[in-house]
Amino acid sequence: MSLRSSDGGPAAGPPAAGAPVGRTADRRLVPRKRKNFLGRQPLGLLFSAPYVIYVLAVLAYPLGYAVYISFHDFFFTAPRVKVDRPFVGLDNYIAVLSDPAVQRSFANIGVFLVINVPLTVGLSLVLANALNRVTKLRTFFRVSYYVPYVTASVAVVGVWLFLFQQNGLVNALLGPLAPDPSWLTNSWLAMPTVALYVTWKQLGFFILLYLAALQNIPDELYESASVDGGNKWVQFWNITVPGVRSASVLVTLLATITGANLFTEPYLLTGGGGPDGASTSPVFLMYQKGILQGNPDVAAALGVVLVIGVLLIALIQKRLVGGKED
């Protein structure tokens, strides 16, 4: 098929440049008459082809490859070197699940999620609700909330390191209340500080999501509630919160995925997952085991375990947050 037109005939010319009216009327019948096996505009296939080929080559194939790697004794070789990569069954999975560092990293993600998800949902809903009510300086507020989201994490990590270091501004403000050892080198506080950082960084995006959901709640609901004497708390709990439930499902899911993908923040904020593994994330271990230590098979198995974990958490969250609607 040529790119220009389905039959390469007169239709390929400039559209109707001086074409007599009668011919135009004739041509109208053409698409209806020809029952094309590929549909009325088979060129759609050609238009979709780059996308489909890309998805198959760069997403679908590696997905299968990841599972393949995780079941074999896989190691790096020079390009095009044929080596034997025996099937090892669940060996890599057993290695992953029995590794204390891996168990620790999953516990760390648990701590992260317990802090990050409720904070994200609560703060972004409250701020979005406030943003929806205020008319003055709206644009300024909206922009200030998404500035951290659009800025590179590496850049804002710089200023957080500066703020939360041993004698940084935060500790200067806290005075004797400052934790010792300080935030990012404290094995109890390292992960919560990372969770706080990520909440702050991503909140703007979730505020925008909730803002979109709030637009769909009809104003009549608020009106009738205020006629019935419901104060703004009653309105918030009985109209706003249920009204944005589907957005809440999405926000919890996306926040969970962010947590499971955690790498940059613990890597840079806590010098690669310290102190003593207190802020190591599973993705950091994938990098360490797979690429630094040359065990891509174990790392791939870790990836599969992590994704299964995310799916389980997502299912539980959907049950909890989704409630009756689904």
Using CB atoms within 10 Å of the CB of residue 125, give its burial: 0 to 12 exposed, 13 to 18 middle, 19+ buried: buried
Q: Are 201 and 148 in contact (CB under 8 A)?
A: yes
Min dist. Cβ of residue 254 to other proteins (A): 8
Touching other proteins, residues 42-81 (CB under 8 A): 42-45, 47-48, 50-52, 54-55, 58-59, 61-63, 65-66, 69, 74, 76-77, 79-80
In the complex, least distance from residue 114 CB atom to other proteins, rounded to whole angstroms: 20
**Under the criterion CB under 8 A, does residue 152 sit at the interface with other proteins?**
yes
DSSP letter (8 states) at residue 110: H
282 binds other proteins (CB under 8 A): yes
Identified binder of other proteins from the candidate list 95, 242, 268, 322, rule CB under 8 A: 268
C-beta neighbour count of 67 within 10 angstroms:
14
CB contact at 8 A, 73 and 86? yes
Q: By the 8 A CB rule, do 206 and 254 touch?
A: yes
Residue 230 in the binding site for other proteins (CB under 8 A): no
| CA distances, 240 to each of 116, 136, 147, 204 (Å) | 22, 21, 26, 19
Q: Cβ 129 to other proteins, closest distance in Å?
A: 8
- The residue within the footprint of other proteins, chosen from 286, 313, 317, 321 (CB under 8 A), is 286
- 103: how many CB neighbours lie within 10 A of its CB? 12
Task: Dig out the tokens for 77 from the structure.
Answer: 């070789």
Q: Does 144 bind other proteins (CB under 8 A)?
A: yes
CA distance 274 to 260: 18
Site for other proteins in 10-29 (CB under 8 A): 10-13, 15-16, 19, 24, 27-28
Determine contact, residues 186/179, Cβ cutoff 8 Å.
Answer: yes
**88, 95, 97, 161: residue in contact with other proteins (rule CB under 8 A):** 161
Site residues for other proteins, 240-259, by CB under 8 A, read 246-247, 250, 254, 257
Window 173 to 212, contacts with other proteins (CB under 8 A): 173, 200, 203-205, 208-209, 211-212
Told to check if 273 binds other proteins by CB under 8 A, we report: no
Q: What is the Cα–Cα distance from 1 to 7, expressed in whole angstroms?
A: 8
If one asks whether residue 107 binds other proteins (CB under 8 A), the answer comes out as: no
- Of positions 140, 176, 228, 325, contacts other proteins by CB under 8 A: 140
- Paired tokens of 197: 């950082």
Which of 101, 107, 114, 157 touches other proteins by CB under 8 A?
A: 157
Asked if 290 is part of the footprint of other proteins (rule: CB under 8 A), the reply reads yes
CA distances from 104 to 37, 273, 289, 300, 307 (A): 57, 11, 15, 18, 17
- For residues 158 and 268, give the distance between their C-alpha atoms in angstroms, rounded to a whole number: 9
Q: Does 131 bind other proteins (CB under 8 A)?
A: yes
Query: Which is closer to other proteins, CB of 95 or CB of 222?
Result: 222
